[in-house]
Structure 1
């Protein structure tokens, strides 16, 4: 049944009655009567009851208001809709659109309003050698007063990147020609406040896009990955000037495989992307002394000089206050002078090599990697690169008759890549597997010992298919319970942070916080080894948490959760993107959206019904 509603009057009345804390949302924290009589212009009426239905009404009115009409037709079925169906439908039909961006004439309008830009000019950097892109943006600069377009040099040194801190900006991405018009190749940002494309976020986002048949957007992510490797030398942490020295966890081949499973690009598309993936593997990961170590395994090793530019003032106070007295400076003054390199401290510079490398890992931040990251062969990076090697072997065998012409004088067989993978697998099991604790641990190659910290990447070898059946059994039966919480797995075990000083910063990738990529990789790993019951349970726990929070908090889909309280109310480091909005979220959060859609493809029908009924996982498992 549809109701013809006066939008502004109804919103005002609804908020006045139900939004008792004044945050322009209706949540379980509000103390209104939780009953609202909806009257329409035709004399129809309906009683809307409970937080969920009231917040749905507010959301639908807010969407209708965007059409600049006085009245709206509100379908009662949308107000009372099954929560699982509603969340999934909003992700597919609304949130992906809200997160889609381009770097072109239209996209620049958003960049000019970017709250990360404090300069009078908005700088847009174009890579050396891409004259078409440079010409396009220079023409745009001529008609856009605040825009300043700069072509970068061929060799991008850490010193050059440091110099850009005085004029930070966005980096150009791929352009395309459609209907004789140039436009940016679209990408999807993690959350609504972002205008830049993030590295590993984009892979998990793409999984959700493919499930929701947003094929062109997933292909756009692959194209922008390729552009970054070809023009910036790596898949960037994000396409901003201060990320030029930092890559991200390698998931490009996984994206290629996922695209091929869902769509049918031509052989030329596969060849182009496979060549670029091999190029990335060789130039980013396999140069000795950089991200490749003498034992044959890899590490994260970001370049860059001094303090990471993107962090907010005060983020590093626990470290900087140890050094400021040495220079007779306050912590704040020391921070400023150190950032601008007026003060140089070699010991502190070494700390920030590890910090930048930790940020390159995507796990920013975790006690596991603080002050030591660049010394570690992490389980995560080596699992990801093992999958690169097996993915490349698979693609060569399936699509190129077991011989791939990389250059005129260089070809690869699938056996070559399988041999590399086998060697890596042996090394991982030799150096990282700990049979006593039944988990994989990062290996400190400097001190030649395992780095004891139980973290969620211990399950990556299940996803990459590195583990033996016996190891998998141990990981699932013995280790998984140490990570399992009501709403999923935490970033680490509680025991691993037990020795951390109580005054130290709370690290968002450790216990008790839960993140979508950890859940998604775990689910796939469980399915790889036929732990189907465990997969159902872990999917249910996570989707229950998302659903419960969305129902109770006006449709909120956050960046992460505190699993100790099964809540999006996070008090650690960077807050929680996706929780600040008025009336309705139109974006959710990228990899959280994707995890919901992916989880629903795994979950069996009886559990989907229990999820719709919000049955507590502790009553099921």
Structure 2
């Protein structure tokens, strides 16, 4: 069978795969360290108004001149991104469902609009961005966004998204964090296997059509595994002392992130470790999607104590178990019996390793594992529900996880991210996030814990609809308390839009048509 996505490779204009830090060198450093823009992401998303080499040459010629103005130089040579003139305006007559359905067009970007020679990696088809400062497509965000696109009947946009992800894997060997050159060194939680089932359920294509891309993504995550000795690590793979393989988050670069350059430099200055180690761990934390959280820190109040690459995350390894199971199943569908057996065995070996290293019989939950210190991390997080979401847990494990989640992570507004509330990081209390609500709800439902799943769903929809009625917006994250203010923490202001909140909310409203959130309207307190 031929590759149905092969023709896409010739339809896309060439990408500039050099990150802005590589392309603009000392100009980049001066702009970011000089805080020319309040948000470090602004400059790396600018479109150059002439060839980058000419810009850099002009800078080198002009910067020593008396009265040189760096900000004026940047504005003369670059065009910062600006929201479209027809910025979305909520209709007070719209219900929450109608509001979300109208938002999709506003959050959709088109390949013909890609600025030439910018950091944006061209894609062959339309795609949905999260919103706010996030003007590119993100990997794991898109899965949760697509759940809402399905409910909204956006089949054409779903098909475009499916083909975009196949294109990214075929072109770069993995799905980058987002379609920006400065994201090429890392990915995000590997949920493409989940996407392929969704594509099949929606009638877009058979899941087995994506088997080559699933295998390529798996090779990316497992690079170097075959040559690892016990106790060694390479890129994203760690060989345990017993010979078992587990995975960690990683980034191929160990420099400050382009989009958070000054922030990363300042964080590294606060650490007593070599700066390149801190940079790598910050980048790996960004690959996790939980950027940032106390789950990666030794000191919950100090981002400089981040040790992401020393931690084997429960959610990552659960997603890779799901990827292995999917490759096994689809290989069988395609008649590749040897590969089907091989990947079924890999999945079972990973499940056994997870039970050995990441399951706490004492606590009755899944934890992350510190492979450098050879011990479980003690901090409970919502990631403990991921093995239920991928249907990897036993019935007894699921029951015990549900009991602990109800006792320790259930908040007035849904599922808490962690138990830590003093970190100042956005992936900690008091914030709640749509993808964690969805994975928790679905995982609990798979194991028959309907009451707890319904409790999380009901409380989350109350939080989302409450703010929607007050401000006519859906947000990136929420404080899990009705009537509360905006969520905070992290490196940037709260963003509205917002892709994955729209997707999960739209899906939950469809599944629970009696929930009062279906009857709320924009800006009607």
- Residues 131-166 of structure 1, C-alpha deviation per residue, up to 9 Å, x if partnerless? xxxxxxxxxxxxxxxxxxxxxxxxxxxxxxxxxxxx
Tell me, yes or no, if structure 1 residue 563 matches structure 2 residue 480: yes
- Distance change (3 Å), C-alpha of 1:366 and 1:558: same
- Residues 116-136 of structure 1, C-alpha deviation per residue, up to 9 Å, x if partnerless? xxxxxx624xxxxxxxxxxxx
- Distance change (3 Å), C-alpha of 1:172 and 1:315: same
Match of 2:449 among 508, 514, 531: 531
Equivalent residue number for residue 572 of structure 1: 489
1:280-359 pair list within 5 angstroms: 280-288=217-225, 289-295=234-240, 296-311=245-260, 313-314=262-263, 317-321=266-270, 347-359=274-286
Equivalent residue number for residue 416 of structure 1: 342
Match of 2:99 among 75, 90, 99: 90
Equivalent residue number for residue 388 of structure 1: 323
Tell me, yes or no, if structure 1 residue 263 matches structure 2 residue 200: no
Shift of 1:481: 2.6
Rg (Cα) greater in structure: 1
Moved more, 250-259 or 188-197: 188-197
Task: Return 5+ residue gaps in structure 1 as ranges.
Answer: 1-64, 68-77, 112-121, 125-168, 176-184, 324-345, 405-410, 501-505, 580-587, 615-621
- Identify, as 1 or 2, the structure richer in strand: 1
- Residues 12-52 of structure 1, C-alpha deviation per residue, up to 9 Å, x if partnerless? xxxxxxxxxxxxxxxxxxxxxxxxxxxxxxxxxxxxxxxxx
- Distance change (3 Å), C-alpha of 1:478 and 1:571: closer
Matched-pair contact (CA < 8 Å) for 2:138–2:179: yes
- Distance change (3 Å), C-alpha of 1:227 and 1:565: same
Aligned partners of 2:129 and 2:191: how far apart in 1? 16
Shift of 1:482: 0.8
Equivalent residue number for residue 362 of structure 1: 289
Shift of 1:571: 2.8
Aligned partners of 2:209 and 2:184: how far apart in 1? 23
Shift of 1:319: 4.0
Equivalent residue number for residue 75 of structure 1: none
Equivalent residue number for residue 103 of structure 1: 111
- Distance change (3 Å), C-alpha of 1:320 and 1:470: same
1:143-162 pair list within 5 angstroms: none
Task: Return 5+ residue gaps in structure 2 as ranges.
Answer: 1-84, 226-233, 298-305
Equivalent residue number for residue 372 of structure 1: 307
CA root-mean-square deviation: 2.5
- Distance change (3 Å), C-alpha of 1:542 and 1:565: closer
Equivalent residue number for residue 228 of structure 1: 168
Equivalent residue number for residue 541 of structure 1: 459
Equivalent residue number for residue 361 of structure 2: 435
1:193-204 pair list within 5 angstroms: 193-204=133-144
Equivalent residue number for residue 434 of structure 2: 516
Equivalent residue number for residue 126 of structure 2: 186
Equivalent residue number for residue 337 of structure 1: none
Equivalent residue number for residue 43 of structure 2: none
Aligned partners of 2:466 and 2:264: how far apart in 1? 32
1:538-617 pair list within 5 angstroms: 538-553=456-471, 555-564=472-481, 567=484, 569-579=486-496, 588-603=497-512, 605-606=513-514, 608-609=515-516, 612=519
Shift of 1:305: 2.9
Tell me, yes or no, if structure 1 residue 477 matches structure 2 residue 403: yes
Shift of 1:592: 0.3
Aligned residues between the structures: 415
